[in-house]
Amino acid sequence: MARSLEIPASRIDWVHAQIREGILSREFAPGQALVEAELAQEFGVSKTPVREALKLLSSSGLVVFEPYKGATVRVPTRELAEQVIGVRSVLEPAAVELAVHRQNGQFEEAERLLVEAASLDGDNARAKLSVLNRRFHSELYRYCGNSLMVETLDGLRDRMALVSIQGWDASDSWAAEWDEHRNILQAAQDGNAGLAAELIKKHIESFGLRFDTMFDTA
């Protein structure tokens, strides 16, 4: 992957973004060791911003620290998928329903994200689609008026991105998922809060059913 030659003032943020993109694009494979010295040399920075970036990625669920191994890319498992989907299937429909009641059909950014996703192509499309996927969902619930709901759901974003890419590697279902997104958005724009909540719940649960057999049982 080509690296940007310009490093912004916050080296930690820049390194964090580079490693995150590398994980979601599968440049860094699940289970791969993330060696501070090697990454520092690759990015042209000291080990300190790399170390801090790895801590942030551990907090968001993309990286794990193991004794005697250090930092490695998290391996998506059935257990991880079930936990993420379980939390989302309870909280997200409720948050979306609240947001629809408050927004009066105003979901312009969510609509823009759908258009952007439809234009994607190329080797990195899945990584970009996974990011757009979570941004789209966030745009539907972010105005729910409950900051704890938003914080909890946003905290699952990277884990869900990791699971989504694993799923799309096994089955190119993202086109069907984005059709479901269009139906959800239409219900939200129409102000039909109950239907939007019902569709988002089915959407989340169908993902779990679609990829139930693809994960390791670890």
**Do 11-73 and 78-210 agree at the fold level?**
no
The CATH number of 78-210 is 1.20.120.530
Neighbours of 188 (CB within 10 A): 28
163 vs 167: CA distance, rounded Å: 6
List 129's β-bridge partners, or say none: none
pLDDT tens for the 218 residues of the chain, in order: 445 445 555 889 999 999 998 998 889 999 999 999 999 999 999 999 999 999 999 999 999 998 888 999 999 888 888 899 999 999 999 999 999 999 999 999 999 999 998 888 655 677 778 788 889 999 999 999 999 999 999 999 889 888 887 777 666 667 778 889 999 999 999 999 999 999 999 999 887 776 665 654 44
As given in the structure block, the two tokens for residue 186 are 């239409």
| pLDDT computed for residue 200 by the predictor | 96
Query: Of 1.10.730.10, 1.10.10.10, 1.10.645.10, 1.10.357.10, which CATH number belongs to 11-73?
Result: 1.10.10.10
The confidence score (pLDDT) of residue 180 equals: 93
The CA distance from 212 to 21, in Å, is 26
The pLDDT assigned to 1 comes to: 46
Q: What are the residue ranges spanned by the domains of the chain?
A: 11-73, 78-210
What is the pLDDT at residue 124?
A: 61
SS (H, E, C) the chain: CCCCCCCCCCHHHHHHHHHHHHHHCCCCCCCCECCHHHHHHHHCCCHHHHHHHHHHHHHHCCEEEECCCEEEECCCEHHHHHHHHHHHHHHHHHHHHHHHHHHCCCCHHHHHHHHHHHCCCCCCHHHHHHHHHHHHHHHHHCCCCCHHHHHHHHCCHHHHHHHHHHHHHHCCCHHHHHHHHHHHHHHHHCCCHHHHHHHHHHHHHHHHHHCCCCCECC
Q: What is the pLDDT of residue 129?
A: 81
What per-residue confidence (pLDDT) applies to 217?
41
pTM of the entire predicted model? 0.81
Distance between CA atoms of residues 93 and 39, nearest Å: 40
